[in-house]
Structure 1
Amino acid sequence: MKKKNYTLLILSLFCLFANAQDLPIELQTPEIVSVNRLPMRASAYAFESRTLAEKRKKENSAYFISLNGQWKFNWVKDPRQRPTDFFLAKFDDSKWDNFRVPANWETNGCGTPIYVNQPYEFAGRQLTGARMNPPFDIPVDNNPVGSYRKKITIPENWNGRQIFINLGAVKSAFFIWVNGKKVGYSEDSKLAAEFDITKYVKTGENLIALQVYRWSDGSYLECQDMWRISGIERDVYLFSTPKLNIVDFKTIATLDQTYTKGLLSASVKVNNYKIDQRTNHSKADSFYVSLDLVDAKNNSIYKADSKLATVLGNFKQTISFSTQIDQIKNWSAEVPYLYTLYITLKDKNEKVIEVIPQRIGFRSIEIKGSDFLVNGKRVFLKGVNRHEHNATQGHTLTHADMEKDMEMMKKLNVNAVRHSHYPPDPYWMQLCDEYGLYVIDEANIESHGRYYSLETSFANDKEWRVPHLERVQRMYERDKNHPSIVTWSLGNEAGNGVNFYEAYEWLKKVDIRPVQYERAENDYNTDIIVPQYPSPNYLPKYSTSKNTRPFIMSEYAHIMGNSLGNFKEYWDAIENNPKLQGGFVWEWIDQAIDTVKNGKRIMAYGGDFPLSGPVDENFSDNNFCVKGVVTAYRGMTPMAVELKKVHQFIKTTFNGTNQINVNNSYFFKDISNVQLNWELVENGKVIQTGLITNLNVAPRATQTFT
């Protein structure tokens, strides 16, 4: 009997060792989240001139090359069958497919889309919580790998400059080679990975090769309620910079205590990529940094120039500015007034090296007592939770998709959005700044399938400290300059523990905005109580409780089927009780996929896949993904009509004496741009109509019209 037990133990250890050997070590080591990946920086682009910077289109720069489009592509289900020498120039890829970038594999014929809510898509609902053995639960014979090759041309005018590649979002992990040499590795599928490839490329033709794995240890932190699909999901491009370069910057644009004067600070980090030759000591280069803040009419309202500064070769220098600006125009979701800050780097002869345009919005975000305040006002957040979804392509969105999201949110009286549950495409952030939404920016962390016990949760496991912190820090560093962000979120449904305590404390040190986290519940590491799915009856109870923190529901009013029947009751409670300030409806869009099954075009949900053969219920949550305010094509639903009505900012009541009371519930703008059309109907027939055009009702005021 003992001999058999020893044999079983040896076999088990052998299988575990074999599994570990079949995948690169980086995919099974939580502490390794990247190799040679550059630190995250603000999502901005440095142009070679002020003229180009004013247009803010990086595609117009001579030092930008898009790598979107067709790549040579090979896909295998079993990672042991992946090509191992495909990154070499001599490799013959003539029989490989041509595959579009960006694009998800599973919506383009490579693999099966999987929809589950809480479980892991590689383990299923039968292997969750303490039964798991992370990071070794990924099947050895089922972890699809996509291998990409693309020949690119480096122009001659890039010679002598620093050259980088930006991969906008790759799920779940990938390696990169340039001209046959390994450059690096990256996890975190919803933020860009940048690599300095200067020493790997040459003028003329070059070869870029990528190998992407559907699952890695990073997948354990990406257990969100969405389609679990993979591939390159956002833009890929090359860019080059001078040897002296603004590598990052931070702006803080807030208000004084009167909320009328702007307080602006900026810190600009300059990198020097020069390596001095034939010397033991680096020589410093000299430079200037200048700021020019212009208003919406392109009038300059603030200028500043640094003194002549120096930076050693292969090192960095930071230049700081601060000022107060009188009579500023404030930013809010209602009136999203934006300035543009031009940050210019000049050489010692004051010749322009590069110019960065950054949109600036002056606003104040603070918590006083039990109130969450924007520009001193106790605003209500009429929000939705937004996943990135395209009806045919999955997680790869076009600019038109994002613009339609913004259009529909504005039409439906939505003034806030929670990025559930990852940082969005940078273009969406630009739209939020420009059109005005209060943003909860959330780190790409959810480990729902592991559940929340302190004994097993990744949140409380120090082996998983690095990936938790990196995902929070990288989110912040990319998005730190956006005025629309009013709160940082540490993640979603990932338990609580030491890793989130440290992430919270890091954010509180580097930024002045509140930090929230739903699974903190009443713990110290959330500035706002952000529960999920309390009943309308609970809300007044919280407002009379001893808890002093603001109460904003991170998820509520679950839209599925014939829902939102009690939505008005939520808002009756919110608008008439202290501490309550709104919430974020789950969810914005139906996550349905437009496809053909059994000869019929359908809007498919999780239980529709695979398109032929039986559904494995262990890996499907069926139709639970179809629960949006709008359809997968961003069309109206009955729930959208109800949400628009309850969220309305202009409310009218008839007082019975041929008078109408008009209430303006906006906080920052009057309604002089609105007119009131009325009609009197008798037995279904219109017998009288009228028009009131002078609706100059002040914010939070009511007027009576006859």
Structure 2
Amino acid sequence: MLKPQATATRELVNLDGLYAFKVDVDRTGHQDEWFKKPLETTLEMGVPASYNDVFADKSIRDHVGYVWYQREVRVPRGWAGERIHIRLDSATHEGMVYVNDVLVAQHVGGYMPFSADITDHVSPGRTFRLTIAVNNELTQATIPPGTVTVTEDGRRKQGYMHDFYNYAGLHRSVWLFSTPGVAIEDVTVVTGVEGTAGTVEYSAVVAGGSGSETVTVTLSDADGVEVAAGDGSNGTLTVPNAILWRPGAAYLYRLTIAVKNDDGTLLDEYSLPVGIRTVEVRGNKFLINAEPFYFTGFGMHEDHITIGKGHNAAQMVNDFELLKWVGANSFRTSHYPYSEEVLEYADRHGIVVINETAAVGLNAGFASFFGEGPKSTYSEEFVNEDTAANHRQAISELIARDKNHPSVVIWSIANEPNSSEDGARPYFAPLAELARKLDPTRPVGFVNVMMDPFDKDTITDLFDVIMLNRYYGWYVNTGDLQSAEKALEAELKGWEAKHGKPIIMTEYGADTMPGLHSLYEQPWSEEFQSSFLDMFHRVHDRVESVVGEHVWNFADFQTSNGIMRVDGNKKGAFTRDRRPKSAAFALRERWTQLGSKKQG
């Protein structure tokens, strides 16, 4: 799943911008074949962005079903003789792509890219009509799951069991790109360290050739100087005195793969950055380059005012700058894969990433919280074989897209599933096995929910790390931090004794209204949030197996309608518009001093 790039043999055109936009209120767009003519609408919508908060129209914000995007696209005239492709970096949660009158691509899963070869449907130098239908519906089988109901007056309502808003639309870029007839389709890189040398094992997939082509590989340092070279589509390069990719000190080499015909003519070329590093779990330690690593940072969300989950480069940089300011060295992509640009930035700046699928809400225990009736988690009515099939797809696509990023050190295959109910182990054992088969080089984990402590959980032994979301002092022992501290420490020591694996606290936090202050550390006040985090940190420092802490959340974010949330979740160390709360300064003080104590 190579990201399109411009090389000596490839070109690409960005198709972001304004599109004609129409909401399929009556669900007739496919029947009436809207893709065969210009959309009858006066609305326009920017790409990339969620559409929900852009229009001053509640019916658009609450719409359940398809919306349609359309624009004219001109194919560069110099692309004659090339293969021509259309790619969407995401369409949440289902995308259908039409070129003129033809459906060329369809994909379910809101956070992964998909593409189509449209060579036979377009002509270089001429325009075509691009129409994209995007469906925001979540069903029992989708990842994440949800339910659609119809009210007595005919309105369709989307229900789901995750605590962030179901933003929809074209959240990431749309591309038109060319490839040669003989093309590199995939590249896999695995790095290692042998003494002072680094190793780069590579495997390239070349399609469209006769078999007589030659493949050459070069590895260059950050200054562009060649440090290793090889022949063939598979091999291992050795880099003497390699500079390793390290947290906070990223160093990237560049691997370039070239395909040539028998007379030496270049047919295709593709390059990607390579960070030489190792990741390992040893006992209760998490090691990067054989050195203990302690995670500090946050669970985050792709969530901004107006554009929702839409990717924006400037806002991404601002978020990373705030991570740097607060002393964070890592984050989790809660609760779905983020834009590839985010991982590329993390690669370049030495930020460590726990990369997570969109499998959130696989837990019937949350049914009452989210207004759903009682149900069993692992049953035909909820998490069944259809769910498992989509979950396998989500894991496979995540690893296929992000396997070469040095910043990614853990695959998290689910957030807060039911891990104690009958059916959990038969459901998750094959998924853990699949993740390891697809990538044997990284630890695999899932994030455990508070309702399934160590004496109830049935699946943690299947995984390499223990990742826990805990809210002692907030959802339980509310406001009583003394009792919360005892309960938290007792549970962490129970996990430590049972499994002896590294523990990462992947969520802990308290809702906090910015500007609310209290002499008595009252819940919802900024003082309580800081004291709450201090309590967790005291416990973390007393439990040897704790190797990381990710506060929930980096910034306040939008959630679905509900009496427990006032304009969203307020657990952020920063407000939704990125102003620091008092807790941000407390975290900065701890984390900037913690590195030298915890690492090494």
2:506 is aligned to 554
User: Cα gap change, 1:206/1:384 in structure 2, threshold over 3 Å: closer, same or farther?
Assistant: same
The Cα of 1:324 is off from its aligned counterpart by 3.1
The DSSP-based 3-state class of the residue aligned with 2:574 is coil
Are the counterparts in 1 of residues 138 and 145 from structure 2 also a CA contact under 8 Å?
no
The DSSP-based 3-state class of the residue aligned with 2:467 is coil
Are the counterparts in 1 of residues 4 and 12 from structure 2 also a CA contact under 8 Å?
no
Are the counterparts in 1 of residues 221 and 252 from structure 2 also a CA contact under 8 Å?
yes
The Cα of 1:494 is off from its aligned counterpart by 3.3
The Cα of 1:188 is off from its aligned counterpart by 0.7
The CA distance in 2 between the partners of 1:482 and 1:585, in whole Å, is 24
Q: CA offsets per residue over residues 555-580 of structure 1, 9 Å max, x none? A: 12345333131323433333443211
The Cα of 1:502 is off from its aligned counterpart by 1.8
The CA distance in 2 between the partners of 1:402 and 1:457, in whole Å, is 40
The CA distance in 2 between the partners of 1:107 and 1:79, in whole Å, is 21
* Identity over aligned pairs, percent: 23
Are the counterparts in 2 of residues 42 and 478 from structure 1 also a CA contact under 8 Å?
yes
The CA distance in 1 between the partners of 2:262 and 2:248, in whole Å, is 44
2:197 is aligned to 261
The Cα of 1:144 is off from its aligned counterpart by 3.5
Indicate the larger mover: 72-81 or 98-107: 72-81
Letter in 1 for 2:463: T
Are the counterparts in 1 of residues 352 and 408 from structure 2 also a CA contact under 8 Å?
yes
- The structure 2 residue matched to 1:100, chosen from 46, 66, 79, is 46
The CA distance in 1 between the partners of 2:84 and 2:437, in whole Å, is 33
The DSSP-based 3-state class of the residue aligned with 2:18 is strand
1:614 is aligned to none
The CA distance in 1 between the partners of 2:30 and 2:226, in whole Å, is 57
The CA distance in 2 between the partners of 1:339 and 1:542, in whole Å, is 43
- The structure 2 residue matched to 1:170, chosen from 88, 91, 114, is 91
- Give matches, 1:135-214, under 5 Å: 143-203=64-124, 204-214=126-136
Are the counterparts in 2 of residues 107 and 113 from structure 1 also a CA contact under 8 Å?
no
Letter in 1 for 2:442: R
Are the counterparts in 2 of residues 169 and 189 from structure 1 also a CA contact under 8 Å?
yes
Gaps of 5+ in 1: 1-40, 50-60, 116-121, 123-141, 275-283, 307-318, 593-604, 608-616, 652-663, 668-699, 701-706
Are the counterparts in 2 of residues 447 and 458 from structure 1 also a CA contact under 8 Å?
no
1:630 is aligned to 574
Indicate the larger mover: 636-645 or 68-77: 68-77
Q: CA offsets per residue over residues 138-162 of structure 1, 9 Å max, x none? A: xxxx634212222111222212211
Letter in 2 for 1:590: D
User: Cα gap change, 1:501/1:460 in structure 2, threshold over 3 Å: closer, same or farther?
Assistant: farther
1:221 is aligned to 145
Are the counterparts in 2 of residues 457 and 494 from structure 1 also a CA contact under 8 Å?
no
1:299 aligns with 2:225: yes
The DSSP-based 3-state class of the residue aligned with 1:226 is coil
2:470 is aligned to 533
The CA distance in 2 between the partners of 1:99 and 1:510, in whole Å, is 38
The Cα of 1:165 is off from its aligned counterpart by 0.9
Letter in 2 for 1:99: M
The CA distance in 1 between the partners of 2:171 and 2:287, in whole Å, is 36
The Cα of 1:338 is off from its aligned counterpart by 1.6
2:428 is aligned to 500
The CA distance in 1 between the partners of 2:382 and 2:401, in whole Å, is 23
1:382 aligns with 2:296: yes
1:84 is aligned to 32
The DSSP-based 3-state class of the residue aligned with 1:665 is helix
- The structure 1 residue matched to 2:443, chosen from 501, 505, 514, is 514
User: Cα gap change, 1:558/1:329 in structure 2, threshold over 3 Å: closer, same or farther?
Assistant: farther
Q: CA offsets per residue over residues 308-361 of structure 1, 9 Å max, x none? A: xxxxxxxxxxx2111333321111212212211122222222222333221111
1:670 is aligned to none
Letter in 2 for 1:634: R
User: Cα gap change, 1:499/1:176 in structure 2, threshold over 3 Å: closer, same or farther?
Assistant: farther
Q: CA offsets per residue over residues 251-279 of structure 1, 9 Å max, x none? A: 011223x4x3212100000011x7xxxxx
The CA distance in 1 between the partners of 2:104 and 2:358, in whole Å, is 24
1:338 aligns with 2:259: no
1:125 is aligned to none
Letter in 2 for 1:295: D
The DSSP-based 3-state class of the residue aligned with 1:582 is strand
User: Cα gap change, 1:248/1:68 in structure 2, threshold over 3 Å: closer, same or farther?
Assistant: same
1:467 aligns with 2:415: no
Q: CA offsets per residue over residues 143-192 of structure 1, 9 Å max, x none? A: 34212222111222212211111111111212222120122321111111
1:639 is aligned to 583
1:572 aligns with 2:538: yes
1:242 aligns with 2:180: yes
The CA distance in 2 between the partners of 1:243 and 1:449, in whole Å, is 47
User: Cα gap change, 1:439/1:459 in structure 2, threshold over 3 Å: closer, same or farther?
Assistant: farther
The Cα of 1:111 is off from its aligned counterpart by 5.6
The Cα of 1:455 is off from its aligned counterpart by 3.7
The DSSP-based 3-state class of the residue aligned with 2:177 is strand
Are the counterparts in 2 of residues 388 and 395 from structure 1 also a CA contact under 8 Å?
yes
The Cα of 1:68 is off from its aligned counterpart by 1.0
Are the counterparts in 2 of residues 46 and 355 from structure 1 also a CA contact under 8 Å?
no
* Structure with max Cα Rg: 1
The DSSP-based 3-state class of the residue aligned with 1:644 is helix
Gaps of 5+ in 2: 147-159, 367-375, 473-484, 513-523
The CA distance in 2 between the partners of 1:457 and 1:625, in whole Å, is 32
Are the counterparts in 1 of residues 573 and 581 from structure 2 also a CA contact under 8 Å?
yes
The CA distance in 1 between the partners of 2:289 and 2:467, in whole Å, is 21
The DSSP-based 3-state class of the residue aligned with 2:583 is helix
1:420 aligns with 2:380: no
The Cα of 1:541 is off from its aligned counterpart by 2.3
Letter in 2 for 1:86: W
The CA distance in 1 between the partners of 2:380 and 2:22, in whole Å, is 36
The Cα of 1:632 is off from its aligned counterpart by 1.9
- The count of corresponding residues between Structure 1 and Structure 2 is 531
Are the counterparts in 2 of residues 294 and 341 from structure 1 also a CA contact under 8 Å?
yes
2:156 is aligned to none
2:155 is aligned to none
Normalised by the length of structure 1, the TM-score is: 0.70
The CA distance in 2 between the partners of 1:389 and 1:417, in whole Å, is 15
Normalised by the length of structure 2, the TM-score is: 0.82
1:64 is aligned to 12
User: Cα gap change, 1:576/1:457 in structure 2, threshold over 3 Å: closer, same or farther?
Assistant: farther
User: Cα gap change, 1:638/1:155 in structure 2, threshold over 3 Å: closer, same or farther?
Assistant: same
2:516 is aligned to none
The DSSP-based 3-state class of the residue aligned with 1:622 is coil
Q: CA offsets per residue over residues 480-522 of structure 1, 9 Å max, x none? A: 0000111000021233534432221011123211000124955
The Cα of 1:451 is off from its aligned counterpart by 4.2
- The structure 2 residue matched to 1:665, chosen from 590, 597, 600, is 597
Letter in 1 for 2:556: D
- Give matches, 1:562-641, under 5 Å: 562=526, 563-591=529-557, 617=562, 621-641=565-585
Q: CA offsets per residue over residues 426-475 of structure 1, 9 Å max, x none? A: 11101111111111000111125644845438885113222110001100
1:270 aligns with 2:206: yes
The CA distance in 2 between the partners of 1:572 and 1:327, in whole Å, is 40
- The structure 1 residue matched to 2:321, chosen from 400, 407, 417, is 407
2:150 is aligned to none
The DSSP-based 3-state class of the residue aligned with 1:150 is strand
